[in-house]
Amino acid sequence: MLSKFSVKRPYTVLVGVVLVIVLGVVALRNMTADLLPNMTFPYAVVITTDMGASPEAVESDVTAPIEAALATTSNLKQIQSRSYFSYSMVILEYEQSANMDSVLIEIQQSLDQVKSTFKDSVGSPIVMQINPDMIPIYIAAVGVEGMDITTLTTYVDSEIKPQLESIEGVASVTAMGGVTEQIRITLDDEKIKDLNKKVQEAINAQFDAAEKQLDDAEKMMGGRTLADKKAFLETNKQNLEALSEQLSQASSGAAELQNAIAGLTQVIALYDDGTLNDEQFTAANGMDIAAARAQLEELNGKLDEIEKSLTEQNESFAQLGITITSLDDLPTAIGAIAQMTAGFDMGIAAVDAAISRVDAGELTEAEALAEIRNNEALSAIIPDVETYKLDTGLTIDETRAQLEDAKEQAAESADIESILDMDLLEKLLTAQNFEMPAGYVNDARGQFLVKVGDKVESMDALADLVLIDLGLEGIDPIKVSDVADVEMVDDSAEVYANVDGRPGIMLSFEKQTGYSTGDVTDAINDKFKSIEKSEDEEVKFSTLMDQGLYIDIITSSIFQNMIIGAALAIIILIIFLKDGRPTLIIACAIPLSVIFAIVLMYFSHVTLNIISMSGLTLGIGMLVDNSIVVIENIYRLRNEGMSIKKAAVYGA
């Protein structure tokens, strides 16, 4: 049918041939060349992190629950798992007939259910599907003259890598072999011990001061020994004697002032009633009337000062049971103090007698103290320390016991060695090192973003970060550097890369979907040359793997094999057929058929790769075989007497 149409419509066939050639040119110009075709492998990998966890903990807490959850997914053929330090890897193999898009959705749903049971330290599972697009299309190494690996890492990340990521068709650029710097914080046991010692000393100092106040209060109330009580009585007696002397002096001074005021008042009265004139007054008193009035006012002022001074001490006198509201109360107060002094003399004598009896062995000191406590006269002037209640409503012994308990609790709560560990340090650092937006503030100048918190910007700032403020006198707020060593470390001991004998970094390129591998690798090579010329530093790139180069080699090899195969077929046809016309037909049919196959590949979204081009090579062999069979059959029918057109129709 097709052969008959072709013979009857030669011009239509010619137009079709021209159309195929045009479409072939368009297809060859727009088809992408890749190393491998787009394939979907029935494999999926689930990676989950649990920072700091041992392989055993990862196995029990992460890997086992994930395996159990994913074991029920559809079309699962095999499941494998590996548990490492800080992360888990589960490898899933499915049947070849499985729809991996549906499988991935099912995997994600199963993981969403199981991850709610994970600890807070476990990260979200990452699901990856294995496919050829994960293979880098280009791997290169870069080095800069005179740069060490740390400087080179920073230079590549900040200067080189952004330029390479801007290349059209490049999806991502991964730098490998660079040094990663991080701040390491290590708790120092010696620092913690020294700090803990200072804290405990500060706590003891505060409580020692409180205990000293209690001891002083105890002595002020007579103490617990005969000697303390005697000292208490003698001290109080001396204080009373001093107070009595003060009041006596005030009384005598007031009396003298009162006498002087009375005499001067009488003289001024004689002047006022006209008994004395100015000359007589001056001659009698040695001063004129104005001076006399001024002196009277001065004497009254001194008398008022004495009375004011006594009334200001009225609160102190009230503690002794004495009330002084005016100078007239002084004699009564002096008498009361004298009675108190006599009482203290009696107490001193009683205590001396008790001490003598104790020294003589007649009594023990405890018995002597009991006698004094039971003596109503002595107990009135010597307080009982054991039963006396302070302003807090507690006795001294109760207060001291309460103080001891508080001291133990404070020492325990401020024990840095027991409360500070890596877990707490991590939480404190996390709480201190944060920032977050808190909304906007509007004013006449515009709108301003407000944020709270402040991230740590440097290692020194991290070392000075305040962890705890104990609020103890003499103890500054505890910083990170007070309990730990803060240092900058890197992984240079674990990573090593050299380019021409100098430090280097490997760069791995992955391409975007829809771009030709050969075009992307050519753009990468052009960018390398541009950077080497434009950068101030002496940058040197070295190609380690180039898929574009492999594709060129394979393409060249396949095309070469195609041409050689076609040429050999044509030569053989010329030798055996001994006719140039059929040979020319086959010579034209081979490339035309290849071009038509490429057109079909282009519109079917099949890329030029190892598999498709190998298929074209095999197709050329089959094409030559079929062409020889058809030509030979046409020749046979022609020799049997058929016309050219009929032989062409029936021979094909």
- Residues 163-166: contacts with CB under 8 Å, at least 24 apart: 163/527, 163/531, 164/507, 164/509, 164/524, 164/527
| Average predicted confidence (pLDDT) for the chain | 78
- Number of C-alpha atoms within 13 angstroms, CB side, residue 501? 0
Do 267 and 346 share a domain, yes or no?
Answer: yes
Q: Is residue 168 part of a domain?
A: yes
In terms of residue numbers, what domain contains 83?
A: 43-130
The whole-angstrom separation of Cα 515 and Cα 26 is 16
- Within a domain: 118: yes
pLDDT tens-digit readout, 39-57:
778 888 999 988 878 888 8
Name the residue with higher pLDDT: 147 or 624: 147
Strand partners, 510: 172
- What is the average per-residue pLDDT within 318-325? 73
Give the per-residue pLDDT at 90.
92
| Statement to judge: residues 164 and 227 lie in one domain | no
Q: What CATH number is associated with residue 79?
A: 3.30.70.1430
Of the ranges 65-79, 184-198, 213-227, 354-368, which one carries the lowest mean pLDDT score? 213-227
Distances (CA, A) of 98 to 40, 46, 92, 104, 105: 10, 18, 12, 11, 13
Residue in 545, 554, 560 with CA at minimum distance from that of residue 33: 554
The pLDDT assigned to 435 comes to 66
CB 57 within 8 Å of CB 50:
yes
pLDDT of residue 595: 84
The verdict on residue 505 lying in a domain is yes
Provide the token pair at 159: 């200067």
> In the listed set 518, 539, 560, which residue is the last one of a domain according to the structure?
539
Q: Is residue 274 part of a domain?
A: yes
Residue 399 counted as domain residue: no
> Where a domain ends, among 381, 398, 415?
381
Asked whether 439 and 405 are in contact (CB, 8 A), the reply is: no
Q: Quickly count: other Cβ atoms within 10 Å of residue 139's Cβ.
A: 17
Q: How far is CA 638 from CA 154, 216, 351, in A?
A: 80, 141, 160
The residue among 528 and 412 whose pLDDT is bigger is 528
Same domain, 100 and 118: yes
The alpha-helical segments, DSSP class H, found in 414-479 are 416-419, 422-432, 459-463
Query: Residue 461 corresponds to which amino acid?
Result: A
Q: ∠ CA(184), CA(186), CA(188), 5° rounding?
A: 150
- What single-letter amino acid sits at 21? I
Distances (CA, A) of 506 to 79, 138, 152, 452: 33, 10, 11, 40
Give the Cα separation of 258 and 255 in Å (integer): 5
Give the pLDDT band (50/70/90) at residue 374.
Answer: confident
Report the distance separating Cα 435 and Cα 562, nearest Å. 66
Report the distance separating Cα 276 and Cα 296, nearest Å: 18
CB-based burial of residue 649 (10 Å sphere; 0-12 exposed, 13-18 middle, 19+ buried)?
buried
Alpha-carbon distance values, 21 to 459, 532, 596, 616 (Å):
68, 42, 8, 17
In a domain, 61, yes or no: yes
pTM above 0.85, yes or no: no
CATH of the domain at 608: 1.20.1640.10
DSSP state of 50: B
pLDDT tens profile 306-319: 778 777 777 777 77
66 vs 428: which has the higher pLDDT: 66
The CATH number of residue 160's host domain is 3.30.70.1320
Q: What confidence category does residue 349 fall into, taking pLDDT thresholds of 50, 70 and 90?
A: confident
- State whether 503 and 611 are in the same domain: no
Q: Is the pLDDT of residue 583 over 80?
A: no
- Which three-class secondary structure state does DSSP give residue 2? helix
Confidence of residue 220 (pLDDT cuts 50, 70, 90): low
Write the burial class of residue 269 (CB in 10 Å: 0-12 exposed, 13-18 middle, 19+ buried): exposed
Helix residue spans in 221-327 (DSSP H): 226-272, 278-285, 289-312, 314-319
Report which of 373, 370, 393 is spatially closest to residue 383, judged by C-alpha positions. Answer: 373
Is residue 474 within 8 A of residue 199, CB to CB? The reply is no
- Per the model's pLDDT, the better-predicted residue between 243 and 317 turns out to be 243
- 583 and 520 in a single domain? The answer is no
212-231 per-residue burial string, b: 16 or more CB within 10 A, e: under 16: eeeeeebbebbbbebebbbe
Considering the domain architecture, whether residues 164 and 240 belong to the same structural domain is answered as no
Asked if 15 and 144 sit in the same domain, the reply is no
pLDDT per residue as tens digits for the range 138-162: 888 888 887 888 888 888 888 888 8
Q: What is the pLDDT of residue 269?
A: 80
Q: What is the DSSP string of 204-215?
A: HHHHHHHHHHHH
**How far is residue 378 from each of residues 338, 351, 536, 637, measured CA to CA in Å?**
17, 9, 101, 157
Say how many domains are in the chain.
4
Q: What is the mean pLDDT of residues 485-492?
A: 74
- 117 with 165, same domain: the answer is no
Please say whether the beta carbons of 199 and 420 come within 8 A.
no
CB 296 within 8 A of CB 261: yes
Residue 428: Cβ-neighbour burial (10 angstroms; 0-12, 13-18, 19+):
middle
pLDDT higher than 70, residue 6: no
Q: Are 350 and 189 in contact (CB under 8 A)?
A: no
Q: Do 375 and 228 fall within a single domain?
A: yes
Q: Considering 322, 352, 381, which residue would you say is the last residue of a domain?
A: 381
Which of 8-17, 267-276, 361-370, 522-531 has the highest average model confidence (pLDDT)?
522-531
For residues 237 and 156, state if they share a domain: no
% pLDDT > 70, the chain:
87
Average pLDDT over residues 452-456: 66
Asked if the model's pLDDT at residue 434 lies above 70, the reply is no
Which among 235, 216, 244 has a CA at the least distance from the CA of 348?
235
* 1-26 burial: b if 16+ Cβ within 10 Å, else e: eeeeeebeeeeeeeeeeeebeebbee
**Range with lowest mean pLDDT among 4-8, 300-304, 579-583:** 4-8
Give yes or no: residues 267 and 332 share one domain: yes
Confirm whether 406 is domain-assigned.
Answer: no
Average pLDDT score over residue span 240-259: 79
Q: Which residue, chain included where needed, has tokens 């009595």?
A: 244
Contact 382, 165 (CB under 8 A): no
CA–CA gap between residue 392 and residue 384 (Å, rounded): 17
What pLDDT shows up at residue 433?
65
Going by the DSSP 8-state scheme, the letter that residue 157 receives in this structure is I
Tell me, what's the pLDDT at 291?
Answer: 82
* Alpha helical stretches, state H, 31-126: 55-58, 64-70, 100-114
In a domain, 54, yes or no: yes
Instruction: Choose the weakest-confidence range: 447-456, 578-587, 638-647.
Output: 447-456
Q: Is the dihedral of CA 536, 541, 547, 549 positive or negative?
A: positive
**Whether 147 and 293 share a structural domain:** no
Q: What is the mean pLDDT of residues 456-474?
A: 74
What is the per-residue pLDDT across 263-315, written as a single tens digit (0 to 9) for each? 878 878 877 787 777 777 777 777 887 887 888 788 888 878 877 877 777 77
Top mean-pLDDT range of 74-83, 419-428, 454-463, 599-608: 74-83
Give the pLDDT score at 633.
79
pLDDT category of residue 413 using cuts at 50, 70 and 90: confident
